Each structure stands twice: as C-alpha cells, then as structure tokens.
Amino acid sequence: MEVDKGKGEAEETRKVAEADRDTVTLKSSDGKLFEVSKEAAARLSTVLAGMIAGGSIDDNGTDLKQIGSEALENVVDYCNKHANSIPSAALISSSISFNTAPFKEPEEWERKFVDRLSHDALFDLVEAANFLGMERLLDVTCHKISEMMKGKSPDQIREVFNIKNDYTKEELEEIRQELAWAFYDD
C-alpha cells in the first residue's frame, strides 16, 4: 500500500511514553499499531473524539477490536490526508438519523482514495468508518458503493452484498412483473 504517513512497520518499535502527545495510537484487531494525529482523529471521528475527551485513550494502543489492520491503515491514511487537505472542520451530525445534511461531492483526492481500494477493502472501510463515527469517510465510501450499484441487477447486488435471496420463485416473478419497467434488461 502506498501509504505515506500511516506506516505499518515502524510502530512496533514506537513506544512513546509521554502523556501529552499530539498523536493517538490505535491498535487493530490483529494487534498492529497505528498512530494518528489527535486533532484529526477528534475532528473526524465522533467515537475517537469521545474517547479522547473521556480520557480513555491508551498510550500503548487503543484497542479497536472490530477493525482489521488493513481497514485501520486506510482510516489512518484518510485522517492524515484529510488533515493535510482540509483546514476547516466539517461538523459531524448525528449518525442516528438519515443523512439530511447536504452531501458534498467527494473531492479529487477522496475519489482517488476510494478508487484505489479493492472491493473488500472498501467494504471494510465502510464498516470501520461506521464504527468510528466518521461521517465524512462514510459519506465518501458509501457514495462510491452507490455508484457501483447503478444499473446492477438484483442478482449482482446480492452477490456484492452477500445477501441470500429469500424470495420464492413465484414471488420473484411477481415482483418482476409488477416492476417490469424497472428491469430494462429483459
């Protein structure tokens, strides 16, 4: 992975002991450590912001059991890039409600960022962003996925999303007839 700051190799040795660092260390599910700027983490992630404010950050690596190292690497990468490119903070709305805030189109670097991801990595990143409450990252990645979904057939969608088809054959036929105009492939 062409990561410029979020290196995955060096953090094993990096055991910084000072309390007042400007970075936080995150630990993935498989034990790898990543370092990210405290300011960026607090600004981009509601969850991390809450943890930093609550003092529940562990200097030896905050355990994020739910996130694999690959996804976490991408998250950290995104945070670093975001910190460099966008000076002003985008405010984070509640993630419970539907996203009613105007969605800004992904910027060029964000588009490139998600474009280089593999399918699995993208989905993992969505999950990580959702878990960490990173609204903007979630927006960007979901936007990418929704673009991928355009024009796909239900079969393809099931495959992509790993969904079991629980319709009976008759029901499916019924739906297709009902919405025949939407199935322009047949």
Partner 1 sequence: MTTTTTMPESPASPPRATTKRPRHGHEAAPSLPDEVIVEHILTRVPAADVVRFRAVCRNWRAALTSDHFVRAHQTARAAAAHHPLDIVFFAPGAAAGSTTFYSSRLYNSTTPHNDGSSPASATELVTVSDLRASDLVMSGGCHRLTLLFQPGESAYHVINLSTGEHVSLPPCAWANRAIPYGPYVLSSAGLGFHPASNEHKVVRLFEDGWTKRPRCEVHGLSQLRRGEEVPGHAAKGLTGRPPVFVDGCFYWHMNTSFNFPGVEEEIFRTPEPILSLSVDTERFEWVSPPTRYEFLLAQVDGHLYELWVRTPASWSLRCRISFGSLLPRPTRDAMGRAIRMLPIGSSGGKILLATSRHEVYAYDTERNSVDRVFSMQDFIDAPREPELLLRAVTGVRRRPVAGSDVGKLKVNLGRSSDGHHFTATQQRAHRMFTAARLLYKYARAITSSGSDGAATIFSSPPQAGLSLSKLESNSAPSPRYSLTSHHTTGSRRHSPRHTPSTLGDAQLHSWHLKRDNRITRQAEHNLPLPGYPYALTLSPIGGEKHIPKQWPTTLKNTALSMTKITAIRIDHNTLQRLYTCTQPGLRLVASHKPPSKNGTLLVSRAVVPRKCESIPPELPIGGGAISPRAHEITQKSSHPDIRSGCYYPHRGVVVLLGVVVLLSQCSSGGGS
Footprint of partner 1 on 134-153 (CB under 8 A): 138-139, 142-143, 145-146, 149-153
Q: Does 8 bind partner 1 (CB under 8 A)?
A: no
- Distance of closest approach, residue 38 Cβ to partner 1, in angstroms: 15
| Chosen residue from 52, 83, 95, 111 binding partner 1 by CB under 8 A | 95
23 or 130: whose CB is closer to partner 1? 130
Residue 10: DSSP 8-state: G
DSSP state string for 86-104: --SPPP---SSS---SPPP
87 or 98: whose CB is closer to partner 1? 98
Site string for partner 1, 29-68 (x = CB under 8 A): --x--------------xx--xx--x-xxx-x-xxxxx--
Q: Does 132 bind partner 1 (CB under 8 A)?
A: yes
Number of Cβ atoms within 10 Å of the Cβ of 131: 16
| Chosen residue from 27, 43, 81, 82 binding partner 1 by CB under 8 A | 27
Q: Does 172 bind partner 1 (CB under 8 A)?
A: yes
The residue length of the chain stands at: 186
CA distances from 174 to 32, 80, 141, 163 (A): 50, 50, 34, 20
Which is it for the CA torsion 89, 94, 95, 97, positive or negative? negative
Angle at 96 between CA 90 and CA 98, to 5 degrees: 75
**Both structure tokens of 144:** 């990418």
| Chosen residue from 10, 91, 181, 186 binding partner 1 by CB under 8 A | 181
Number of Cβ atoms within 10 Å of the Cβ of 125: 28
| Chosen residue from 10, 17, 91, 182 binding partner 1 by CB under 8 A | 182
Q: Does 92 bind partner 1 (CB under 8 A)?
A: no
One-letter amino acid of 47: V
